[in-house]
Structure 1
């Protein structure tokens, strides 16, 4: 992975962590507007953890960040979010473990960026390719 790729994935990870770190009302609004599925959030956590493990092996990600991401993944496993079809907005209000995930995401962002309160990502419409 090149330095450019590494920087891209660090930024992508920070945007996703910003969603996990956001306050409950901001998360509910964001998730409801985008109709995010709980399983999709879990898939993103697994993807980010996979990326983070590779970056840590190359020495481009701090071990404490990797540990925090592993803890978030563990919470997702305990909540069995893959076994819960449905909207993330509904899951946010149903399980108190989201508060612990939020705290971990904030801790990671503060360690990496000095702050946790970041703008939530905007939805990017799909690109249409016409022949």
Structure 2
């Protein structure tokens, strides 16, 4: 791993996987009052899974890690468009696909870091429009 950008992308991937691996109650607490769309979460995960190919080629992840990330991407790809509409908080409570993604994310973190329990990323503050 020789690119500063690779380090940042690896770190972001690990942090986002920590969020996906967290218990539902912790995910909902992390969300707080934020109205994060399911489609936005799905797109972020899909992006991270896609860039993991290049990160693995450059040594930021092991091939085993890539295998786990591909499994997460495949499971996410099985969620139909109708289930991607609406708030992620609602999807966490109603769509069993997120339980599968939670389990796959935990497996990834166990293989990569030795424990799936990791600090959650700091939430991005919602824009207030007070620019």
Q: TM-score, normalised by structure 1?
A: 0.85
Give the 3 Å change call, closer, same or farther, for CA 87–107 of structure 1 in structure 2: same
Ranges in structure 2 where 5+ consecutive residues have no aligned partner = none
Displacement of 1:42:
0.8
Displacement of 1:57:
2.3
How many pairs were matched up?
A: 128
Displacement of 1:33:
2.9
* TM alignment of 1:29-68, pairs within 5 A: 29-68=29-68
Q: TM-score, normalised by structure 2?
A: 0.85
Root mean square deviation, CA, Å: 2.2
Would you say 1:116 and 2:116 are equivalent positions?
A: yes
Displacement of 1:2:
4.1
Match in the other structure for 1:24: 24
Would you say 1:4 and 2:4 are equivalent positions?
A: yes
Displacement of 1:121:
1.5
Instruction: Could you list the structure 1 runs, at least 4 aligned residues long, displaced by more than 6 angstroms after superposition.
Output: none
